[in-house]
Amino acid sequence: MQTEPTLATAEDGRVATPACDALIERYARIHRLAHLGAIAGWDQAALMPPKGNEARAAALAELAGLLHRMATDRALGDEIERAADEPLDALQRANLREMRHAWLRETALPATLVERQRLAASRCEHAWRRQRPANDWAGFLENFRPVLALAREEASRLAERTGLARYDALMDRYEPGMTSAVVDRLFGDIRHWLPALIREVVDRQAARDAADPPADAAGPFPVERQRALCEQLMRRLGFDFEAGRLDVSAHPFCGGVPEDVRLTTRFAPEDFLGALMGTVHETGHARYEQSLPRAWLGQPIGQARSMAIHESQSLAFEMQLGGHPGFAALLAPLLREAFGDQPAFDPVRLHRRLTRVQRGLIRVDADEVTYPAHIVLRYEIERALIEGEAQAEDIPALWDAKMDELLGLDTRGNYRDGPLQDVHWPEGLFGYFPCYTLGAMYAAQWFAAIRRTLPDLDARIGRGDLAPVFDWLREQIWSQGSRWSTDELTRRASGEPLNPAHLRAHLRQRYLG
């Protein structure tokens, strides 16, 4: 009589899965070293003195090489194969799925390439900080060419390993499963309806402002008061200052690790809203990181699902909440306390300011109606660069043509507010830009789902009660980490796959409803 084999058990009574357990420990070590790299990278952008850059770049390149060697160790690959034959539970299977995906990508790239990329990006980004204010495109190009060449090499190696197109192979690093064919369809649809929507909204707001002129706040706005205001608002949005901090950098970002989240913003004495709403945006990222499941810390499933999902969190805060009348009512007394009583701080007038639609040159300052145009422009250029259809020297002409086409703006000769404005290309982050507008689509879909569950959501936000939003995001998104694929997470959270119709409906309702 044939009997079932007896499964080995661990000391605590669990079914033994030694290969999977070894993998978890390997990834925990990688996480701890990546923790150091994340903090060193934040310091490089926020606090490091200029003369430290070469040494820091070399140190980070060395660490990148070490982490790459650990992630491509042949023994790790052997353990992945052994673990696949073990009696794993659902969470272990999800971990193994993420490990296999990372292994496939990492082993396609030699350590020398990873180190050269880190060094080239550090040099280019550090020089970019001086070149952007100087409008120095020629100087930037000298450092940027090696960054682009290395990105193309990475894309080719990944494409060969994965079978994806070269640009798709880079985008997969940030948005697993997404392809340029899907993005082309989604962004092609945006190109069809967005220009007309922008015109209609701008015309309507111009007519309103002519009848009832807006009241802009009178500055200057002392930086220290701005900083205190930003930190006060971060607390209202649930940021844990025992597990993170706010600093200043040339380009706002959220970095660090879930246990120690680092936000940055940038202040201008003549304008408080740029720093304030930038901080709100980064706080959305931070709440996601701070709320990832601690029981899974250091495991692949304990990480954020994807960068579009990450951007959906920052845009849920900055755009979905930040553009709500209830947010203006919450913010108004904080502004009066910080800068004194002004007509511009009336909640109705403040809301008009927060939802003002203007064609502008700067992506990070763009409103939610014009913002997708900035992303479509960057996506189309960087995809052409990676696929070899355009060269670095072609960027300004492409930029000028697309900015005129999408927003009707003239950027000729203005590199500072044109292709030099973002840190992504200096740092070699090709494939990231689509995540911003994909994130806006997800954010609109999240709020549509919340409203189905809570029909009185808008009334509650109007009373300053933001807890229902945070509770839903925590339950449906934050606590799930990378347990599910992006498609599965979206279906579980909202009841349907990504549906861009929610973004268009949201924009029309808010600005034309």
- Percent of the chain surpassing pLDDT 70: 97
Catalytic residues: 282
pLDDT of residue 138: 97
Query: Cα(498)–Cα(425) distance, rounded to whole angstroms?
Result: 27
- Percent of the chain surpassing pLDDT 90: 91
Can you give the pTM of this predicted structure?
0.92
> Which residues, at least 6 apart from 482, have a Cβ–Cβ distance to it below 8 Å?
94, 98, 300, 301, 302, 303, 304, 305
Average pLDDT over residues 57-79: 92
Query: Cα(38)–Cα(467) distance, rounded to whole angstroms?
Result: 30
Q: Is the pLDDT of residue 221 over 90?
A: yes
Choice between 113 and 364, residue whose per-residue pLDDT is larger? 113
Give residue 45's pLDDT band: very low, low, confident or very high (50, 70, 90): confident
Give residue 4's pLDDT band: very low, low, confident or very high (50, 70, 90): very low
The first and second tokens of residue 432, run together, are 């990231």
Q: Is the pLDDT of residue 160 over 80?
A: yes
Average pLDDT over residues 104-128: 93
Where are the alpha helices (H) located in 346-481, listed in sequence order? 347-354, 371-386, 395-407, 434-453, 457-462, 467-476
Parallel, antiparallel or unpaired: strands 254-257 and 260-265:
antiparallel
pLDDT of residue 215: 87
Starting at the edge strand that comes first in sequence, how are the strands of the sheet with 260-265 ordered? 244-248, 260-265, 254-257
> Which range among 112-116, 141-145, 229-233, 305-309 shows the weakest confidence by mean pLDDT?
112-116
pLDDT tens, position by position, 309-320 = 999 999 999 999
Average pLDDT over residues 348-372: 95
> Which range among 10-19, 49-58, 411-420, 475-484 shows the weakest confidence by mean pLDDT?
10-19
pLDDT of residue 365: 87
Average pLDDT over residues 341-370: 95
Q: Is the pLDDT of residue 452 over 70?
A: yes
Instruction: Indicate the average pLDDT of the chain.
Output: 94
pLDDT tens, position by position, 138-154 = 999 999 999 999 999 99
Name all contacts of 347-352 with Cβ < 8 Å and 24+ positions apart. Answer: 349/214, 349/215, 351/323, 351/325, 351/327, 352/208, 352/214
